[in-house]
């Protein structure tokens, strides 16, 4: 049997739109009912697919789906745009974050309420959200060190990467204040950059 014939007998390639529909359904259900109450059956119904279709892609069930869904929403830290300056890099990254802040806030709310009761879920969030977010900031800050904008002994700690996300989440979920460019510029210029003590710019 030829390679082409063998490929045909194995079935059609998986439709990426079906995968996207399943991941979208998982995110929506987490936001609506929470992680623990979400089921594979509910995901299948929302996405308009069968349960066997889901299990063929994610044999481990909903945990594996949630991991994939979270990963699909966050690009690799190495892929962050290099604007040529620390301020520009921070503004570009935070602008991208705020572009999906409403959806991320609902997703986080659906997960947070379950964290104390599910160590498995807590570990998932640490690995797929917290560690990834910190990796983004680390990549940006290391660029700044390489450019000479930051000294090698600048105060780069995990706390730095948590500041912006916490303030953005608070405005989105609690205060309802605008998360616009003026807010981002104030956050960067009056909070983030002063924390790092960047080197003075040469005249």
* CATH number for the domain harbouring residue 114: 1.10.357.10
Whether the predicted pLDDT of 71 surpasses 90? no
Whether the predicted pLDDT of 23 surpasses 60? yes
Rounded CA-CA distance 174/169 in Å is: 8
Handedness of CA 175, 178, 181, 183 (dihedral sign): negative
What does the CA dihedral 160, 90, 80, 67 come to, rounded to 10 degrees?
A: 50
Rounded CA-CA distance 92/63 in Å is: 31
**H or E stretch including 103?**
helix 101-112
Whether the predicted pLDDT of 99 surpasses 60? yes
CATH code for the domain in which residue 47 is found: 1.10.10.60
Q: Are residues 80 and 64 in the same domain?
A: no
The reported pLDDT for the residue numbered 58 is 95
DSSP 8-class letter at 99 = T
- Chain-wide mean pLDDT for the chain? 79
Domain membership flag for residue 139 = yes
Whether the predicted pLDDT of 30 surpasses 90? no
Last residue of a domain, one of 70, 88, 109: 70
Last residue of a domain, one of 50, 70, 90: 70
Domain membership flag for residue 104 = yes
Q: Are residues 179 and 97 in the same domain?
A: yes
Q: Are residues 171 and 90 in the same domain?
A: yes
Q: Are residues 137 and 169 in the same domain?
A: yes
The reported pLDDT for the residue numbered 104 is 66
Whether the predicted pLDDT of 63 surpasses 50? yes
Whether the predicted pLDDT of 135 surpasses 80? yes
The number of folded domains in the chain is 2
Q: For residue 64, give its domain range.
A: 11-70
State the pLDDT confidence band at 190, using cuts at 50, 70 and 90.
very high
Whether the predicted pLDDT of 45 surpasses 90? yes
Q: Do residues 40 and 54 touch, judged by C-beta distance below 8 A?
A: yes
Whether the predicted pLDDT of 38 surpasses 80? yes
Q: Are residues 80 and 65 in the same domain?
A: no
Stretch 36-62: mean pLDDT, rounded? 93
Q: Are residues 46 and 142 in the same domain?
A: no
Domain membership flag for residue 22 = yes
The contacts of residue 60 (CB under 8 Å, 6+ apart) are none
Residues in the chain: 203
Whether the predicted pLDDT of 3 surpasses 80? no
Stretch 138-161: mean pLDDT, rounded? 83
Q: Are residues 60 and 84 in the same domain?
A: no
Rounded CA-CA distance 3/7 in Å is: 6
Q: Are residues 64 and 96 in the same domain?
A: no
Q: Are residues 114 and 62 in the same domain?
A: no
Rounded CA-CA distance 133/188 in Å is: 17
Whether the predicted pLDDT of 202 surpasses 60? no
Encoded tokens for 24? 């979208």
Q: Are residues 114 and 129 in the same domain?
A: yes
Last residue of a domain, one of 24, 53, 70: 70
Encoded tokens for 189? 């210029």
């Amino acid at each position: 049997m030829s390679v082409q014939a063998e490929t045909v007998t194995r079935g059609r390639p998986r439709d990426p739109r079906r995968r996207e529909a399943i991941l979208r359904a998982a995110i929506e259900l987490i936001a609506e009912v929470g992680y623990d109450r979400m089921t594979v059956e509910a995901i299948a119904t929302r996405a308009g697919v069968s349960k066997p279709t889901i299990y063929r892609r994610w044999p481990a069930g909903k945990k594996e789906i949630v991991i994939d869904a979270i990963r699909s929403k966050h690009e690799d830290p190495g892929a962050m745009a290099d604007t040529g300056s620390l301020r520009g890099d921070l503004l570009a990254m935070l602008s991208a974050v705020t572009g999906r802040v409403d959806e991320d806030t609902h997703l986080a709310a659906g997960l947070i309420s379950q964290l104390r009761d599910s160590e498995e879920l807590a570990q998932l969030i640490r690995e797929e959200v917290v560690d990834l977010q910190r990796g983004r900031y680390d990549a940006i800050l290391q660029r700044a060190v390489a450019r000479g904008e930051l000294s090698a002994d600048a105060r780069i700690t995990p706390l730095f990467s948590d500041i912006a996300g916490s303030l953005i989440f608070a405005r989105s979920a609690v205060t309802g204040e605008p998360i616009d460019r003026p807010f981002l510029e104030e956050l960067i210029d009056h909070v983030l950059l002063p924390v790092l003590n960047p080197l003075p710019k040469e005249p």
